[in-house]
């Protein structure tokens, strides 16, 4: 993002996220607008940082049961923001919203929420149906880039990979080597 803002100095950056502004400011060198946004459920974690697959599947099923309402709300907010391009992690509701609005999208992530539940619950027809809906949303992105290291993104289309999109804390590189 910093490089994009260097190339296009008048680039307006709007961030839709539920993370503190300070966490974003630690990464972005220039100004940006922050808008709280609902996020897809991801993985529900229980005791000992283990994924609670039943809660996770139920949370995604809940999103799907309210999809029309969530999609409309997301489309309304994005229409107000009027972006020229959306850079997004792996949120599938937002991908459908911008696709419906005709806004180009660059999606990226080290995993996607369609592959993760299928790995945990192979052969479950309700999980397969849920994941098919997510893949349909992912396929609507103008471009989907897989970050490495990460899971291969099956069924999302030709997903090129890119190097790590992270930083390490000072002194950690030496301990990791």
Q: What is the pLDDT of residues 45-62, one digit of tens each?
A: 877 788 888 888 888 889
Domain ranges in the chain are 1-36, 40-167
pLDDT in tens, 97-122: 999 999 988 888 777 777 777 777 78
With vertex at residue 146, the alpha carbon angle to CA 171 and CA 75, rounded to the nearest 5 degrees, is 110
In the prediction, which pLDDT does 169 show?
63
Q: For residues 17 and 34, is the Cβ–Cβ distance under 8 A? A: yes
Q: Could you tell me the pLDDT band of residue 76, with boundaries at 50, 70 and 90?
A: very high
149 preceded by cis ω (within 30°)?
A: yes
Number of Cβ atoms within 10 Å of the Cβ of 49: 6
Q: Across all residues in the chain, what is the average pLDDT? A: 81
Highest mean pLDDT, choosing among 67-71, 124-128, 129-133: 67-71
Residues 6+ apart with CB under 8 A from 73: 38
pTM: 0.78
Under 8 Å between Cβ of 43 and 57: no
Quick check: 112 and 134 in contact, CB under 8 A? yes
């Amino acid at each position: 993002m910093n490089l994009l803002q260097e190339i296009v100095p008048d680039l307006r950056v709007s961030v839709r996220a539920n993370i503190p502004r300070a966490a974003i400011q630690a990464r972005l060198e220039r100004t940006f607008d922050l808008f709280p946004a609902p996020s897809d459920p991801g993985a529900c974690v229980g005791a000992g940082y283990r994924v609670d697959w039943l809660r996770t599947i139920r949370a995604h099923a809940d999103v799907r049961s309210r999809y029309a309402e969530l999609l409309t709300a997301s489309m309304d907010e994005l229409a107000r923001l009027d972006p020229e391009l959306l850079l997004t992690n792996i949120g599938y509701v937002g991908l459908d919203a911008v696709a419906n609005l005709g806004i180009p999208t660059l999606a990226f992530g080290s995993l996607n929420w369609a592959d993760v539940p299928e790995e945990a619950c192979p052969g479950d027809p309700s999980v397969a149906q849920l994941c098919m809906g997510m893949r349909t949303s992912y396929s609507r992105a103008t471009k989907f880039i897989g970050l490495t290291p990460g899971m291969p993104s099956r069924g999302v289309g030709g997903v090129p990979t890119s190097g790590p999109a992270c930083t390490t804390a000072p002194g950690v590189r030496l301990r990791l080597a």
